[in-house]
Amino acid sequence: MIKNFRIIPRIDIKGVNVIKGIQMEGLRVMGDPSNLSEKYYQDGADELIFLDSVATLYGRNHLHPLIEKIAKNIFIPITVGGGIRSIEDVEELLMSGADKIAINTALVLNPNLITKVANRYGSQCLVVSIEAKKINDGLWEVYTNNGRERTNVMVSDWVRSVIQMGAGEILLTSVDKDGTEKGFDYDLVGMVTSISSVPVIASGGMGSAEDMIKVVEFSNADAIAVGAILHKNKLTINQMRKRAIELNFNLRSYDHE
C-alpha cells in the first residue's frame, strides 16, 4: 500500500520576520510570516509549524499575537514551538490558537513535562521536537537550544523515552542537514521511524521534491517539514504535491479554489 504523508511548511521566526538558519547558525530574513502562512494554506499545505527561533535565548515564546492572527483565517492544524518551558506556556499558546505544541529543550531538562502535557491536553497536541547530530554510523546525539548544546543522550534512547511518557508525534530535525538543501539525513529518519510507534515528521535538508519522496518511501517518514526552499520559492507546494501524486502517494485531496 502506498503511503499517505503530510507536507508541512516550517516557518522559523525571529521577531516579526521569517528566518532560515543554515545548520542552525547564521540567520537570513525571508519574509512576512502572515503572508507566507496564507500562501501555503491556499497552496494546499497540510499543516503549518511555527518555531520561535530565539525564544530559548530570550526566555520565552513570543508568537502568541502572530498565532492569534493566523488562526482566524487559516483552518489547518498549527503547531507552535520554541522556548516552551511549562504547562502554563502550553496553555497560553493553545488559547492563542495553536493546535499542537512542539517542545525540545525543556523536555530534555524536565522530562516530566511530557506526561503533564499529555495528561492535561492529550498526546495528540504534543509534538516532541528532537534535534539530532550524527556522531558515528548509526549513532546520533540529541541536541538542544536550536542545535547549540549537546546532551550526551542518544537519539534512539530519547525517542523511546518520550513515546513512553506520552509524545503524540516526533518532529525530527537533523542538525547536520538543516538549511543545506542537500537532502534529509535518511539514515537518521529511517532509524527513528523504525523504533517509533508515533508519527515522525522529518525535518532538515530538503532540497527537492525527490528528497521528499525518498524520505517518505525509504525512511518511512509520516510527514515532512520544509523550510528554506519553500520560502525562497525554489520549490512550491504545488510542485511537491504534483510529484507525489504522480508516484501514487496518498496525499490530501485538495482543489485549488
Known catalytic residues are 12, 131
DSSP 37: H
Binding to another protein by residue 89, rule CB under 8 A? no
Position of cell 528566518?
Answer: 19
69 or 148, CB closer to another protein? 69
We find the least distance from the C-beta atom of residue 250 to another protein, in angstroms, to be 8
The only residue of 59, 122, 135, 245 in contact with another protein, by rule CB under 8 A: 122
d(CA 78, CA 88): 18
Residue with cell 520565552: 60
Q: In the stretch 4-43, what mask flags binding to another protein with x, by CB under 8 A?
A: xxx----------------------------------x--
Q: Taking CB under 8 A as the rule, does residue 112 contact another protein? A: no
Kindly identify the residues of this chain, within the stretch 165-224, that bind another protein according to CB under 8 A. 168-169, 196-199, 222-223
CB of 196 to another protein, least distance (A): 8
User: How many residues of this chain interact with another protein, rule: CB under 8 A?
Assistant: 38
- In this complex, which beta carbon is closest to another protein, that of residue 76 or of residue 154? 76
**Helical residues (DSSP H) of the chain, grouped into ranges:** 33-43, 55-58, 64-73, 87-96, 105-109, 112-121, 155-165, 186-195, 209-217, 228-231, 237-246
Which bin fits 144, alpha (ψ -120 to 50), beta or left (φ > 0)?
Answer: beta
Cβ neighbours for 62, distance < 8 A, ≥ 6 positions apart = 52, 55, 83
The residues binding another protein (CB under 8 A) are 1, 3-6, 41, 46-47, 71-73, 75-77, 94-95, 97, 99, 120-125, 168-169, 196-199, 222-223, 250-254, 257
